[in-house]
């Protein structure tokens, strides 16, 4: 019976590709959660939520292997998030 315990193999730690894919999935989830927050509340914009969503989106893009500079990733994310915020505000107004 004692030898059976020695035959068991310790669970392997996740390899590089598995760890990388888990990190990408985590960052995608954070970006989706940040984008789900209302950006326009009571007729005004929540700039903190907008910036958090843009940074989360840029981090997810960088983790996926984007070669673009950080400033371009954040700029593109901000454009997209502001577009969504303006749409939310106009939708709430009607």
* pTM summary value: 0.73
Distance (Å, whole) CA 85 – CA 38: 8
Indicate the Cα dihedral angle 24, 28, 64, 53, nearest 10°: -130
Question: In this structure, which long-range contacts are made by residues 68-77, counting pairs with CB atoms below 8 Å and at least 24 apart in sequence?
Answer: 77/53
41 by DSSP, 3-state: which? strand
Tens digit of each residue's pLDDT (9 = 90 or more) over 37-84: 888 888 889 999 999 999 999 999 999 889 999 999 999 999 999 999
């Amino acid at each position: 019976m004692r030898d059976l315990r020695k035959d068991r193999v310790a669970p392997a730690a996740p390899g590089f590709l598995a760890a990388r894919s888990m990190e990408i999935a985590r960052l995608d989830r954070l970006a989706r959660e940040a984008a789900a927050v209302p950006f326009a509340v009571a007729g005004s914009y929540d700039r903190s939520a907008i910036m958090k969503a843009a940074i989360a989106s840029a981090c997810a893009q960088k983790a996926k292997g984007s070669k673009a500079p950080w400033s371009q990733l954040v700029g593109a994310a901000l454009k997209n998030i502001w577009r969504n915020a303006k749409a939310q505000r106009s939708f709430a107004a009607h």
